[in-house]
Chain A
C-alpha cells in the first residue's frame, strides 16, 4: 500500500469515528444537558462525572466528534471559496481538534 504519501486516511478515519459517536450519542446528550436538567425534568449535581469510566466515556463523546467537525468544516470552508488559505484553515481546524483533545483530557483529570 503506497498511501503513506497522504495522511488523509488518518483524518478520514477520525472523521468517521467521530461521525458514528455524534450520530448515536449527541442527540440524547443535548436533551439531557440542554433541556432535562435546566428545565427541571430531573436534577443533577454532576457527581457522576467523577466516576472513572464515565470520564472515559466523556472523553470519547467529546473528542471524536471534534475531529469529525474539523475534517468536515475544513472541506466546507474550502468549498465555500476559501481555497486560497487552505493551509491556514487546516491548521485552525485540525489544530483546534487537537487543542480540544488536550483540553478535554486536562479538564476530565482535573475534576
Chain B
C-alpha cells in the first residue's frame, strides 16, 4: 500500500522568527555561550597587540600596559573574564557528554567528569601563574 502524503498546498508553514533565541531561557543561554567566543577572540587580539609593542621598544610596552589600567579596559576584561569562565564551564560539561569515561566496567557520572575538568583547569591555571612569576624577570 503506497503512502498517502498530505496535499502540500493546504499545509500551513510557521516561520521561525529571527529572534528565536530570545523566546526561551535555554536558547538565550546557548546564544551567550556562542558569543563567549567573540570576547575570547577580542581579548587574544588585545594580548597580541600588547606583545607586538615589544618590537617597538620597552616604553611602548609600558605605555600599552598603562592604557590597560583605565576603567574602560578593566570593565572589558571583567566582561571577557565572565564570558571566558562561562565558556570553560560549558565546555567541560560538553566534554563529559562527548567522552564517556569508564573505570573498568562502570561509567563515571557526568558531574564527576565535569568536576575533574574543573580541577584540571585550576591546576593548569596555578602552573601558568607560577611559570609567569618565575620567568617574567
Q: Chain A interface (Cβ within 8 Å of chain B)?
A: 19-20, 22-35, 37-40, 42-51, 54, 58, 61-62, 65-66, 68-69, 72-73, 75-76, 79-81, 100, 103-104, 107-108, 110-111
Given known A38-B65, A46-B51, A107-B52, contact A24–B37 (CB-CB < 8 A): no
Q: B48 contacts the other chain (Cβ, under 8 Å)?
A: yes
Query: Which of B41, B51, B133 sits near A58, CB closer than 8 Å?
Result: B51
Contact B121 A103 (CB under 8 A): no
B contact patch SS: helix
- Check A65–B120 contact: CB distance below 8 A: no
User: Which 6 pairs, one residue from A and one from B, show the smallest C-beta to C-beta distance?
Assistant: A34-B77, A69-B41, A38-B69, A28-B125, A23-B91, A48-B135
A28 with B40: in contact, given A38-B68, A47-B136, A81-B18 (CB under 8 Å)?
Answer: no
Residues of A close to B26: CB separation below 8 A:
none
